[in-house]
Amino acid sequence: MVFQLFYKNAFCQKENDKYIEADFMVYFKIMLLLYILNSFIGVNTKIKLRVQGLTNSQIQSGAYALILAEENGLRRIPIIVGTAEAQSIAIALEEIIPPRPLTHDLFANFSKAFNIDLQEVFIYKFEEGVFYSRLLFTQEGREVLLDSRTSDAIAIALRTQCEIYTTEEIMQECGVVLEESLFAEENELPDPEELEPGDIKDEGQLREWLFSLDADELKERLEAAIASENYENAKMYKDELRRREEQ
């Protein structure tokens, strides 16, 4: 009934008490095109994000939640990241310069050395609990897109000061509105100095973490480990100090 009234009012004109059909198909196609165009723009509009911080994950033990905030809005996207990735992101957020470059530092330094610019990080898909990202690089007018884990992409983006985007579709599916006070305190970030070797399971990531500690921190940790009779950790700290002395 509603459609019939709409049809008569919108697409027909009255003449001699009879409705004469206008060009319904033309109007219908225009409306359909506008609807599709509006839907396409809404889904694919890029939403600019900023890294708000890190906090302990409430759903996965030993992991952290990376909070990406909508730049001009109240929505937030929480992304679960591992300890090593959280450490790398926290180092970049705190602008800590490790004595030896971490993997993400090396990647950023390599790009800079060869005049490769990272233009943006685009989180383009969310599927089965996983966020998918692309890195857009430019070099002498040439553009290259590379797939990346989102945690790696964010860690690199922080080191190159590039912009981070996602889609409106992902914001609608994954975005939540969180109180600013929940993440306002800086001490909620996972400070690399608060980690212990036992928190890092991967051997390569453990070496990178040891590289990130300065000599004074290593000495303090060595003394504390000996005092608490944690000789396994003490050996790690001592070996790292000896390695640096031999360089």
Q: List, for residues 55-87, the tens digit of each pLDDT value.
A: 877 666 668 889 999 988 889 999 999 888 988
Q: What is the mean pLDDT of residues 228-246?
A: 80
Helices (H), the chain: 2-11, 24-44, 83-93, 103-113, 150-160, 168-174, 203-212, 215-227, 231-246
pLDDT value of position 24: 56
18-48 pLDDT, tens digit per residue, is 444 555 566 666 766 665 655 554 445 899 9
pLDDT value of position 222: 85
Confidence check: pLDDT of 11 > 50? no
151-209 pLDDT, tens digit per residue, is 999 999 999 999 999 999 999 999 888 655 444 444 444 555 667 777 776 666 777 77
CATH number assigned to the domain with residue range 46-212, chosen from the 4 options 3.30.360.10, 3.10.20.740, 3.40.50.1950, 3.10.690.10: 3.10.690.10
What average pLDDT is seen over the chain?
79
pLDDT value of position 32: 65
d(CA 101, CA 207): 11
Confidence check: pLDDT of 16 > 80? no
Q: Count H helices, E strands: the chain?
A: 9, 10
Q: What is the mean pLDDT of residues 3-24?
A: 47
